[in-house]
Amino acid sequence: MAATPGGTTPVPPNARPRLTVLSGPSGVGKSTVVAHMRKEHPDVWLSVSATTRKPRPGEQHGVHYFFVTDEEMDKLIANGELLEWAEFAGNRYGTPRAAVIERLENGAPVLLEIDLQGARQVRSSMSEAQLVFLAPPSWDELVRRLTGRGTEPPEVIERRLDAARTELAAEPEFDRTLVNTSVEGVARELLALMDVV
């Protein structure tokens, strides 16, 4: 096995950590769980997505997202450089493949927090990936979270609820389901699934 530039030998394929994908319906608390987990275990590498949307105040290129033009995104897709990609609210988002592969080959635990469409694409291109579904404690609780913001018109909320029904129905496609009754508890369960202690 060839040595890497740093002089270290890559992790043998059978000892390489699996890519873990966390998905679930909008409003279930994926970002909150991931933020808590990474505060406790910063060694877990969370992939940074490329997006065609404009940066929001405070967002940094390469930290929160890789901000790209439509033309650049077209090239990434055409060249097979994205592990998965999706369009959402008129913008495209995707996971750069090379960075994920590099981290896995170097033995780092890698986590993707993506939507259902993206999780399905990862499953088809990296069958060894571990897909984890984050479920709400109940449908009523998810409705409360999606409508509780009170900032969106009823038709937008109805679209979100329709999407959530579709996403919840996809739960059997996943390897494991974690129910988000406690952010700390789910973060611990997710770390255990990733073999991070």
CATH of span 13-193: 3.40.50.300
pTM of structure: 0.82
Task: State whether residue 25 is helix, strand or coil.
Answer: coil
The residues spanned by each domain of the chain are 13-193
3-state secondary structure of 172: helix
Phi-psi sector, 191: left (phi>0), alpha (psi -120 to 50), beta? alpha
User: pLDDT for 117-169, tens place per residue?
Assistant: 899 999 998 989 999 999 999 999 999 888 876 677 888 888 888 989 999 99
One-letter amino acid identity for 68?
A: V
Calculate the CA dihedral of residues 178, 184, 187, 189 and round it to 10 degrees: -60
